[in-house]
Amino acid sequence: MSTSSETVSTSSGSAPSASPGTAVAAPPVSGTRLTLTGASLGRPGAPALDGVDLDIAPGEILTVVGPSGCGKSTLLRTLAGLLSPLAGDITEDGHPLTGPSADRALVFQEDALLPWRTLRANVELPLAIRGVPRAERREQAEAWLERVGLGTQARQLPHRVSGGQRQRVQLARALAGRPRAVLMDEPFGALDAQTRAGMQDLLVDVLRGTGATVVFVTHDVDEALFLGDRVALLGAGGIVAVRDVPRPRDRGAHDAPARLALRRDVLTSLGT
């Protein structure tokens, strides 16, 4: 699956890669299975999505695309446990999903860093919540910052670094707590094209070997087809289709016939 120790080809050159010896020394987690069965999601009396049937496999990267207002963020917040389904069932490894959990990390488009905490202290936060001793969580936070290319800026405050760097910190913070699922709501949407491509490559690099299940919402079809093992297409009121992606996370597949055919199908299904 996507977040195991697979080999991928990335060539943008924009993202920092992990240096030898800087990988975080922790065994991979077991990704969680997230399942929606006949689920209705949204506000009472005005569901954004209805009759949703979706099974997200452990360790899979599922990307989600659709027009504005179709319910992408509603789906993500429901999987995070922030919203309750209006009808139907939502389970995590076969058990009812009843609320937020440290096993499910949510990453927003806005970096959501605490402005009074250093970059290292922000990354330490989920470790502190889990009760990790101070010295150990500092070591792990510094290792994650090193892994996302910010090891020398650990003591900086968020306002002292760029937007792209803050997103790297948010990614490090999300993964430092070793969640079993990472739920990402257009995390690169506000970045310029070059920084965005670099962040995509960085995401692939830091997820490799974690074992985490990932649900990644985006407006960008090319981003969805690069990152996802599968892509879910949302339309008015529900899921239009879920398609397998050929050669995911391979920059060389961008112009491959199978990828181009899928891209055309996705754009047609979305009416663009």
Residues 61-75 have pLDDT tens digits of: 999 999 888 899 999
In DSSP terms, which residues pair with 232 in a beta bridge? 64, 242
Q: How far apart are CA 220 and CA 211, in angstroms?
A: 25
- pTM comes to 0.86
Helix (H) / strand (E) element for 134: namely: helix 134-147
Hey, what are 101's tokens? 């959990």
Q: Residue 18 pLDDT > 50, yes or no?
A: no
Q: How far apart are CA 245 and CA 267, in angstroms?
A: 14
132 band by pLDDT with thresholds 50, 70 and 90:
very high
Structure confidence at residue 210 (pLDDT): 85
What is the rounded average pLDDT for all residues in the chain? 87
What does the pLDDT look like over 134-179, one tens digit per residue?
999 999 999 999 989 999 999 999 999 998 899 899 999 999 988 9
| pLDDT > 70 fraction of the chain, expressed in percent and rounded | 89
Locate the DSSP E strands across 28-116. 34-43, 46-56, 61-65, 87-92, 95-96, 104-107
What does the pLDDT look like over 232-258, one tens digit per residue?
999 888 899 999 999 999 999 999 999
Give the 3-state secondary structure of residue 62: strand
Q: Residue 13 pLDDT > 60, yes or no?
A: no
Q: How far apart are CA 113 and CA 150, in angstroms?
A: 15
What does the pLDDT look like over 26-71, one tens digit per residue?
566 789 999 999 999 998 888 899 999 999 999 999 999 998 888 9
Give the 3-state secondary structure of residue 101: coil
Structure confidence at residue 136 (pLDDT): 95
**Residue 235 neighbours by CB under 8 Å, 6+ apart:** 66, 67, 70, 269, 270
Q: Residue 202 pLDDT > 60, yes or no?
A: yes
Q: Residue 195 pLDDT > 90, yes or no?
A: no
10 band by pLDDT with thresholds 50, 70 and 90:
very low
Q: Residue 272 pLDDT > 70, yes or no?
A: no
- With CA atoms as reference, report the closest residue to 167 among 205, 136, 127, 123: 123
**What CA–CA distances, in Å, run from 174 to 9, 57, 207, 269?**
24, 20, 11, 32
Q: How far apart are CA 234 and CA 75, in angstroms?
A: 10
For residue 254, report the phi and psi dihedrals to the nearest 5 degrees: -55, -40
